Amino acid sequence: MAGRNIEKMASIDAQLRQLVPAKVSEDDKLIEYDALLLDRFLDILQDLHGEDLRETVQELYELSAEYEGKRDPKKLEELGKVLTSLDAGDSIVISKAFSHMLNLANLAEEVQIAYRRRIKKLKKGDFADECSATTESDIEETFKRLVSVLGKSPEEIFDALKNQTVDLVLTAHPTQSVRRSLLQKHGRIRDCLAQLYAKDITPDDKQELDESLQREIQAAFRTDEIRRTPPTPQDEMRAGMSYFHETIWNGVPKFLRRVDTALKNIGIDERVPYNAPLIQFSSWMGGDRDGNPRVTPEVTRDVCLLARMMAANFYYNQIENLMFELSMWRCTDEFRAKADEIHRNSRKDAAKHYIEFWKTIPPTEPYRVILGDVRDKLYHTRERSRQLLSNGISDIPAEATFTNVEEFLEPLELCYRSLCACGDRPIADGTLLDFLRQVSTFGLSLVKLDIRQESERHTDVLDAITKHLDGSSYREWSEERRQEWLLAELSGKRPLFGPDLPKTEEIADVLDTFKVISELPYDCFGAYIISMATSPSDVLAVELLQRECHVKKPLRVVPLFEKLADLEAAPAAVSRLFSIDWYKNRINGKQEVMIGYSDSGKDAGRLSAAWELYKAQEELVKVAKKYGVKLTMFHGRGGTVGRGGGPTHLAILSQPPDTVNGSLRVTVQGEVIEQSFGEEHLCFRTLQRFTAATLEHGMNPPVSPKPEWRALLDAMAVFATEEYRSVVFQEPRFVEYFRLATPELEYGRMNIGSRPSKRKPSGGIESLRAIPWIFAWTQTRFHLPVWLGFGAAFKYAIKKDVRNLHMLQDMYKHWPFFRVTIDLIEMVFAKGDPGIAALYDKLLVSEDLWAFGEKLRTNFEETKALVLQTAGHKDLLEEDPYLKQRLRLRDSYITTLNVCQAYTLKRIRDPNYNVTLRPHISKEILQSSKSAQELVKLNPTSEYAPGLEDTLILTMKGIAAGLQNTG
């Protein structure tokens, strides 16, 4: 027994090396990193909970590894036996341990990616997936490729770059399942690990870093992973804004400096103008009220004022550094006159709430005099927002603050011009230029808030108005009559309603939202997005309501087309809209249209949705060209493939030609925000990726598909939609099967978002949000919504004409859109495992539905084979050894959590399911504090047996972390 124990205690390193035998390349340190973190964690686990518990974790890991090797379902049953024999406290500790190990594996991976980037051994085609050379776009490489390979002149590149805009829209979609408290600890673990492997580290440094690493791993493990209350929209907004504080605020000027350097290296001796709108940020947090009753007008007001306060605070904290830097006295006459005027009018009493420069600044330091005045105004701007936020009123007059960005830029531009005129351009191009770029990017509002509302809610308001006016019902009118009436009102002057309009709660909510828009500064807001938009009257209705509610500068109105039928009808609807003279004059030659990836995928399956989105964009661009309108496409992409996710660079470069055209808006959702902006190097990479790909798409558009490719894909899409809908919408017992075979019903307990998981409390798949729909299938590793439909489409094509296989392979090689679609499906198959889905069926689904599940799993395997055949691959991910290695390292942890989840669901749903518990195995160091037992008490109100709900939620979080996808 002693020998067995020593063996057990041996480092898990050896097992990891058996699972993933070879290094993928010389610079591959992933296994080393992973083993170090795991060893440290297992030691901590043993110190906290005793040797027996550590042994149990290793036993479970070994059983999972054996299953991964042979895919023998008996191993899953053995796992199940061990897991169900644990008492409530041990069960929580073990699911927490595996979830934690997956988070550590992710961190090891991030450090490895950053390390490989640093040593810059990026051979093209070396590795794919989100973090790789083939999907990567270094800005300088992009410039050089455009010059040398495509013969573009450096001036052409500079012109295109100056005029392009990428607007990243952060949304609060409830898919970030990791708490902020943990994200911060993860960041520190990442830092320690990276420093431990630095070349110039001394033994003492190493010892101290190792201690820090252990401390942070333990702190993360001892933090409750579960959110005990749902976040409010304000919490979501604060979480989103924390990324500005951590990385984005300083990341933008740093990135723009790199662009300047890259331009210099192709012979452009100018910098990107500070007011070039290269990168912009918007937000939906606190503005997206579609199906979220918790986003009230009050919430919208709060988040706008909070963002203004944060922006003023960022500038205020930075301006003192700038004042220190600009100690020069040489300046232009224009500048001196302005500085003297400010000096004469400055109040003599000292402003003692400042740390530096709180006595009156002497006129011999003119730059400091002018910046001191800017600082005073920033202080008042921040305090006024703070007072409005907490009391609704402020005793600071608006005149003492900055009310628009031009006012703010004016003194800074004056400093810049004066320094350049006096021969100090190198100084002007230092911190001052960074500051100017921040003001141009973030303005006074930090981000522009989009408002999103469902079209039906506007119809309700107008219906109430017409009934109040003359008893007629707007809702029952034809589209023609609606347009005629809306245009007559828009051209007329009469107010449509007064305070006596009878209002339901919903109607008051819509009107109060417009009232908030009219009261807050214009620069707080971006677009007004109408979801479920189908006709021109939907857009005109919002225009009229903005006017009626006295919105001085109306927001641009953006229709959102999501369902398959809406996407097909979108070009005609937009064309009708452009043909209305009043509207054409209103938009000033610019229109934005949003296309939704999530609901179109849920409606018709991934293949048909992707193809329909592609065609809709082509047609919309044709319509816009016909009417002389510049169209901006707003892509509502999720994080997962099922919701339009995938590598950014490839996604942009596979869009149809002419559809990006130098302006792009994209949503960055939920957990993707952390993956894009969680660290400085990630933020830099994200900005670089979007900028380079947008530039490349405009200057080197992808190929248009050949007519025969289109015809084949059109025919295939019909079969794909048919198969998908026949299962999801027409199979009478599908909803029942879905609810039994997945943790969909339990998803809401995770408290990961402020939004309900359904649009309507009753209702089937149609009313289910796209996120829980994808989430549930991801948890069971079956990923049904992503691949369902592909099999039927490929079978049809090959059966119709065997030469079509050759054509599909040709499309894969030469058409970026088709290649990206197939590659993403292949990646999803690599993350899938029908054996795990079969376990859920066996435990949770009634026996008469087993055959249905079996049929779906057969379809999974057939579809996988057809995808590989099309891509010309023998094995999944054979062209991507890095991703393959990373998935293999994680699989054993995920399998344990899957088995734990399936058996826990069984115990929750079937009160007659008996398990034999073994004695409690977790030993606490301090026997008086039974912390494993205390874990059970964290959730005293659960209606389930003790510990089951927490175990279930921990497995959900762990699997989401392991697959790096929530929804």
- Provide the annotated active-site residues: 173, 602
Q: Rg of the chain over CA atoms, in angstroms?
A: 30
C-alpha to C-alpha distance for 226 and 218, rounded to whole angstroms? 17
Read off the tokens for 839: 């376990």
What is the rounded distance in angstroms from the CA atom of residue 646 to the CA atom of residue 651?
7
Which is nearest to 728 in space by CA: 685, 674, 787? Answer: 787
Secondary structure (DSSP) of 191-232 = HHHHHHT-TT--HHHHHHHHHHHHHHHHHHHTS--S-SSPPP
* Euclidean distance between CA atoms 100 and 102, whole angstroms: 5
Distances (CA, A) of 511 to 453, 457, 544, 551: 12, 10, 12, 11
- Residue burial 250-273, b: 16+ Cβ < 10 Å; e: rest: bbbbebbbbbbebbeebebeebbe
* Distance separating alpha carbons of residues 803 and 709, to the nearest angstrom: 13
Asked if residue 772 lies in contact with residue 967, where contact means CB atoms within 8 angstroms, the answer is yes
Contacts 24+ apart (CB under 8 A), 122-130: 125/879, 126/25, 127/24, 127/880, 127/881, 127/882, 127/883, 128/647, 128/823, 128/879, 128/880, 128/882, 128/883, 129/647, 129/827, 129/880, 129/882, 129/883, 130/646, 130/647, 130/648, 130/675
Decide: 611 and 713 in contact? Cβ < 8 Å.
yes
Report the C-alpha gap between 916 and 86 in whole angstroms. Answer: 9
Query: HSE (CB half, 13 Å, CA atoms) of 57?
Result: 30
Could you tell me which residues come within 8 angstroms of residue 648 by beta carbon, excluding any fewer than 6 positions away? 130, 135, 666, 686, 689, 690, 693
Question: CA-CA distance, 804 to 870, in Å (whole number)?
Answer: 10
Residues 6+ apart with CB under 8 A from 479: 535, 536, 537
Can you say whether the dihedral through the CA atoms of 854, 858, 859, 864 is positive or negative? positive
Cα–Cα distance for residue pair 692/161, rounded to 1 Å:
9
**Cα–Cα nearest to 366, from 418, 413, 426, 315:** 418
**Those residues with Cβ within 8 angstroms of residue 71's Cβ, 6 or more apart along the chain or in another chain:** 835
Task: Give the dihedral of Cα atoms 99, 105, 108, 109; nearest 10 deg.
Answer: -120
Cα–Cα dist 167/769, whole Å: 25
Say how far apart CA 667 and CA 789 lie, in whole Å. 26
SS3 778: helix
CA pair distance 700, 81, nearest whole angstrom = 58
Residue 382 CA to its chain's centroid (Å): 29
Contact 897, 958 (CB under 8 A): yes
φ/ψ (deg, to 5) at 964: 55, 35
Give phi and psi for 282, each to the nearest 5.
Answer: -130, 175
The DSSP string of 386-402 is HHHHHHS--SS-GGGS-
Does residue 125 come out as left (phi exceeding 0), alpha (psi in the -120 to 50 range) or beta?
Answer: left
- 590 three-class SS: strand
Are 648 and 668 in contact, with CB atoms under 8 Å apart?
Answer: no
